[in-house]
Structure formats: structure tokens, C-alpha cells
Amino acid sequence: MRNPSLIKEEFLKRWIIALRRCTSLKKNMNILERNKVVKLSADLAMASARNGTTSWSRALIANATRDNDNRILAEQILGPESEILVKRVSTMPFKTCNRRKIRSKRILKRSCSSAIRRVRKTVPRKVLANCIAKRLIQKRTHILKSLVPGGEFMDETTLMEETLDYIAYLRVQVDVMRSCTYC
Amino acid sequence: MEPNLGTIVRSISIGPNREETGLESLQFREEIHRLMTVPPENGSSFTELLQLPETQAMELLHSAHSDEVVPVPLSGEPLHGINDDHKSYLPSFNGNLTFPSNKVLIERAAKFSVFASGEHSPETSSVPSDSSANLEKVKSEPAETDSNPNSSQLLVSDPAVNIKNQRSEKRKEREKKGKGCTKKSKIEISQDAEKLPYVHVRARRGQATDSHSLAERARREKINARMKLLQELVPGCSKTFAMQISGTALVLDEIINHVQSLQRQVELLSMRLATVNPRVDFNLDSLFAPESGSLADSNFHSMVSPLLWPEIPFNGNRQQHQQQWNFDALHRPLWGREEDNHTFITMENSLLNYESANSASLHSNQLKMEL
């Protein structure tokens, strides 16, 4: 695993820069805005730290820049590198082609479920258990996909890599923020 | 965190000393980039996985080989059926799989497939376009095929011909693939395969030899390798066996719980940060702070305008300079006061308090937090 403290360093640095940039825009913010700002800046900080190498970071940036009201803020936070990043993010054509994929997968699933119902009566126990286990795994993968940003558009292998990365990032974020609050 | 932070902060705030700060930040970035671009351990673990079961490895090579060699359906329909699913993980295939003993495996495969080659020739003649086209593709990838073009041709035509003859079963199998009743269809297909003369000798009973399921198996192994890594990462997960399917489900459960709890923590903490008194301070300290002794404070203000920072030599952080770095992320009531403070800057590392590391060197002073 990569050196965690270096990641923390990087994250803290970027977060601080981002927060400073945010707060320079607006001097007085109410609580909700602050919350949003903190979260957004932290997310973008880490995502920019990955420099678009990982999919979840790209998805994060894409989500952040999608809404118009956040967009300006996000671009301010990201700073001068924002255009490069945003370009890279927008060139990932994962949105459109994956809708078709998702639709076709759903159709497949529906057809498969009907096939399975027919099969279940004639199938021996072992295979049935196998089916059930695989169903469980699929459900869980689906949940995981919804958790990891940008996860719905990935296949399973990339999903696992992204999860690894994402967990590391979340840990770093939690550690840094915890030490911020407890001082 | 460590004096690095002090330097980082300095780099942020100090305008004129761009070179040194640039250097430092460059070093950090370089290190971090280096760390980022280290090839994932997944690759190595996967090759270990490969080398252990040799028969499977060969078949995997078989399939990977055929997959790589037949990326484009040159003959149109018969190969089209396979490639849809393969394309999705082909790039990952190419990226992650490293076959150190490529040639050796190919030679071994050649030896084994020589048996089938006798019966092969009538079949291959029936598929001349495929094999020739594939041969071209084969030759275009010198890394894999330079040793044995013949064997590779045989290898390639194996799945190609298999596939042609088993298209209908393949479609059925693909439909059922994701739904977990592959065992039955695999049994069917393996039986069919064993009737055909060019079945690879290494085919195990109950396991299909067509590239489709082989690729599926390779994919599963990849996923399992990553699952193992995740298991090590997520606390409390080491007891379950990752190789079984039920173990995988449990590991996935743990992973999901972990991710959810981390996300919730982040939300909580950000809420706290947002609601806490705006003048939350903490000082970042240089890690020669044990001598300073004033680690108890933690004040963390941020100053937005870099002009407020005086020019402090870069090396000053390494010694006992104390700089207070004001980070007021949340509110700005005290602009005037912060401006007064710029001459007196102390930086203490509050994170140092939180952790246990207290080493004196600049770079080795990392947070010894257990993740």
C-alpha cells in the first residue's frame, strides 16, 4: 500500500488550499454552506490529488462540476489546473455508452431470472447453492457500486481496484479531519 | 503532521521564495507520483496465482492469448459473440497480466496441442479465413508469438473452431453466465467439447475449454486476488476465506460496511468542522518541537492572503522556528487581528500530538498512524 502519511500530507495541503480559495470568495457563510464547502473542498482536494488516474476521482470531479451552482465553486477550488482536469474528466465517455450497457444488462437480467425460475426445479442442490451465493454476491456488488463514486459504470475488477483506492482515501480524510476537530 | 506540513504551508503562503518551496513541493509531488504509479500489487499477486496451478495457467494463457490475438472479429459473426464480453475486460487483461514465462508456456502448450494437431488440420482447413486472419493478427504481436507461430495458430484456431460449433450453446451459456447456473451449462459444453477431436488435452472434466469460460475464470481469479487485498485492508476481515464464494460474500459485506462507516464518519466530521467555533485554531509545528515543548497548543488558523506572510527562509522550519499558521476556514471575523499576527508566526503540529511519532528528521517524521 502506498505510504499513508504522504497521502495525508498531500491531502492536507490540497484541502487547505481549497478551503482558502473557497473562503476567499465568501466571507460570511451560514452553517449549511460551510458544511458544503468543507465537504466539497475535501472531496475535490483528494480527487485532484489523484490527478485523474483513478476512476472514482474523475467521477467525483464530474459530479461536482455538473451542477451549475457548484461548478464555479469547484472550479475555483481546483484552481488553475481545473481546466486540464475538467477536460480530462469530460473526455471520459463513460456516461453515454454505459447507459446502453446498463439497459442491456437489465434486459439480460430479466431474461435470466425467468430462465432461472425454470431451471431451479430440475437443478441439483449444489448448483442451487451456487446460484444463491452468486446472487448474494451480485447484490452486494451492486450496493458497493452505489457507494463508490462512479462505480456503477465499472466492471467488477476495476470496481475492486477503485474500492481499494477509495477506502485509502476515505481513511486519510477521516484521520485528517479528526485531528482537525480534536485540536 | 510533520515538518513537511510546515514546509507545505510555507510553500503555500510565501510568495517570493518560490524556488525552494517549489523544490520541496516538487519533491513531494514526485514522491507521491512515484508512489502512485507503482504498479499495483494486484499484478504480482495475480502472477503468483498463475504460476501455482500450472495447468490452469496454461489454459489461461491459452485464453488470454486467444483473446489478445482475436480482438477484432475479422470474420465477423462467429467471433462476435465472444468479443462483446471480452472487450470489457480485455484492456484490463492486457494491462494487468504479466506473463514472465510466456514462451515456455507457449512451448508447453504447443507440445500438448501437437496431439490434436493431426486431427486439427481438416478442421482448420474448413476455417481458412479465420485462421489466416488470425495468423496475421498473431504475427502482428511479436511478443507472444515469435517463438511458436504454429502453436499459436493452433491455439487460436482451437477456440475459434470450438466457438463456431458451439455458438448456440454459447449464447445460452452467456445468458446464464451471470446468474450462477454456469455449472450445468459448462458440463454440457465440456461434454460436447470432449467429443470434438481438437479438444485440448488439458481439459478438466466439468470445466469447459472454450475461451469464454476460461476468460471468465481468469477474471474470477483476478477478482479474488483483489478481494484478498481488500481483505487485508479492511479490519476484521482476515478470518473469512476469500476463495470460496460464500467467503467472497462475507468479505464484500465487510467492505461495504467499512466504506459506509467511513463515509458517515466523514460527514460527521465535516459537520463538526463546519459548526465548531469559527476561530478553530491549530498550530502546525516543526518536528523539532520536542525541544520547543509547547506542543500542547493546537491552534489552526488559516490566512487567506499570502501577503500576510513574512518571508521566512525555507530552512527555518527545520530548526526551531515556530510559525503560527492561521487557518480560519469557516469565518472571518478577525481580519485585522490576523494581519497583526503576521510577524509572529508559530507552527506546531497538532497532529503530532494526536499521533505518537516524534522523530526529528524532516522526511522520516511521518505519522505513525495505524490505518
Q: How wide is the angle at C-alpha B165 spanned by C-alphas B179 and B184, nearest 5°?
A: 30
> What residues are paired with B301 via a beta bridge?
B326
CB A41 within 8 A of CB A180: no
CB B109 within 8 A of CB B60: no
> What residues are paired with B158 via a beta bridge?
none
Structure confidence at residue A14 (pLDDT): 73
> What cell numbers appear for B235 in the block?
479490519
Q: Do B32 and A177 touch (CB under 8 A)?
A: no
Structure confidence at residue B314 (pLDDT): 40
Q: Do B252 and A144 touch (CB under 8 A)?
A: yes
CB B13 within 8 A of CB B311: no
CA contacts within 13 A on the Cβ side of A88 = 17
Using the structure block, give the residue that is written with the C-alpha cell 477478482.
B223
User: Within its chain, how far is the Cα of B40 from the centroid?
Assistant: 5
CA distance A172 to chain B (A): 9
> What residues are paired with B285 via a beta bridge?
B348
Provide the pLDDT confidence category of residue A124 given band limits of 50, 70 and 90.
confident
Provide the pLDDT confidence category of residue B275 given band limits of 50, 70 and 90.
confident
DSSP-derived 3-state class of residue B301:
strand
CB A56 within 8 A of CB A150: yes
Find the closest chain B residue to A145 by CA distance. Answer: B256
Q: Which of B17-21, B81-85, B203-207 has the highest mean pLDDT?
A: B203-207
Using the structure block, give the residue that is written with the C-alpha cell 464530474.
A62
CA contacts within 13 A on the Cβ side of B140 = 11
How far is it, in rounded angstroms, from Cα B109 to Cα B102? 10
How far is it, in rounded angstroms, from Cα A183 to Cα B275? 14
Per-chain mean pLDDT for chain B: 50
Q: Which residues of B touch A9 (CB under 8 A)?
A: 1-2, 4-5, 8, 28
Lowest mean pLDDT among A42-46, B55-59, B212-216, B287-291: B287-291
CB B87 within 8 A of CB B36: no
What's the sign of the alpha-carbon dihedral A71, A74, A76, A82?
A: negative
Query: Does B115 have pLDDT greater than 60?
Result: no
Report, as an integer, the average pLDDT of B93-106.
47
Query: Does B221 have pLDDT greater than 50?
Result: yes
Q: Do A164 and B229 touch (CB under 8 A)?
A: yes
Of B216 and B18, which is predicted with more confidence? B216
Q: Do B89 and A155 touch (CB under 8 A)?
A: yes
> What is the 8-class DSSP label of residue B74?
T
Mutation site, A9, A50, A106, interface B, largest B CB count within 10 A: A9
Q: Do B260 and A147 touch (CB under 8 A)?
A: yes
CA contacts within 13 A on the Cβ side of A108 = 16
* Chain A with chain B: Cβ pairs closer than 8 A: 242
Q: Which residues of A touch B253 (CB under 8 A)?
A: 140
Find the closest chain A residue to B87 by CA distance. Answer: A155
Helices (H), chain B: 3-13, 18-37, 41-51, 54-69, 77-96, 102-126, 128-139, 142-145, 149-165, 167-177, 182-195, 211-233, 245-275, 289-292, 335-340, 350-354
CA distance B292 to chain A (A): 18
Percent of chain A with pLDDT over 70: 51
Structure confidence at residue A135 (pLDDT): 86
> What cell numbers appear for B279 in the block?
476561530
Q: Do A179 and B351 touch (CB under 8 A)?
A: yes
Q: Do A23 and B328 touch (CB under 8 A)?
A: yes
Nearest in space to B273 (alpha carbons), one of A49, A166, A33? A33
How far is it, in rounded angstroms, from Cα B87 to Cα B225? 21
Provide the pLDDT confidence category of residue A125 given band limits of 50, 70 and 90.
confident
Find the closest chain B residue to A179 by CA distance. Answer: B351
Q: Which helix (H) or strand (E) holds A48?
A: helix A31-50
Could you read off the pLDDT of B138-179 as tens digits, one per residue? Answer: 444 444 444 444 444 444 444 444 444 444 444 444 444 444
> What is the 8-class DSSP label of residue B239?
T
Query: Does A58 have pLDDT greater than 50?
Result: yes
Report, as an integer, the average pLDDT of B242-270.
78
Of B143 and A62, which is predicted with more confidence? A62
User: Within its chain, how far is the Cα of B114 from the centroid?
Assistant: 38
DSSP-derived 3-state class of residue A1:
coil
Q: Which residues of A touch B176 (CB under 8 A)?
A: 112, 115-116, 119
Using the structure block, give the residue that is written with the C-alpha cell 496431439.
B115
CA contacts within 13 A on the Cβ side of B12 = 23
> What cell numbers appear for A93 in the block?
465517455
| Residue in A1, A5, A180 closest to B282 by CB | A180
Q: Which residues of A touch B256 (CB under 8 A)?
A: 140, 143-144, 147
Report, as an integer, the average pLDDT of B226-234.
77
> What cell numbers appear for B51 in the block?
504460476
Q: Which of A82-96, A134-148, B241-255, B298-312 has the highest mean pLDDT?
A: A134-148
DSSP string, B264-285: HHHHHHHHHHHHS-TT-----B
The crossing angle, in degrees rounded to 10, of helices B102-126 and B54-69 is 60
What's the sign of the alpha-carbon dihedral A33, A36, A39, A41?
A: negative
How far is it, in rounded angstroms, from Cα A152 to Cα B48? 30
> What cell numbers appear for A79 in the block?
484552481
Of B150 and A153, which is predicted with more confidence? A153
Provide the pLDDT confidence category of residue B128 given band limits of 50, 70 and 90.
very low
Query: Does B208 have pLDDT greater than 80?
Result: no
> What cell numbers appear for B64 in the block?
488470454
CA distance B43 to chain A (A): 11
Q: Do B32 and A170 touch (CB under 8 A)?
A: no
| Residue in A123, A138, A174 closest to B269 by CB | A174
Structure confidence at residue A80 (pLDDT): 58
Using the structure block, give the residue that is written with the C-alpha cell 467471433.
B79
DSSP string, B303-358: -S-GGGS----GGGGTTT---B-EE--S--S-HHHHHHGGGS-B-B-HHHHHS---
Q: Which residues of A touch B31 (CB under 8 A)?
A: 6
Using the structure block, give the residue that is written with the C-alpha cell 509531488.
B29
Q: Is the ipTM of this complex over 0.90?
A: no
CB B230 within 8 A of CB A160: yes
Q: Do A20 and B304 touch (CB under 8 A)?
A: yes
Q: Do A174 and B262 touch (CB under 8 A)?
A: yes
> What cell numbers appear for B116 in the block?
490434436
Percent of chain B with pLDDT over 90: 1
Query: Does A65 have pLDDT greater than 50?
Result: yes
> What is the 8-class DSSP label of residue B203?
P
Helices (H), A67-93: 68-78, 82-90
CA distances (Å), A61 to each of A70, A72, A103, A162, in order?
Answer: 11, 12, 25, 15
CA distance A142 to chain B (A): 10
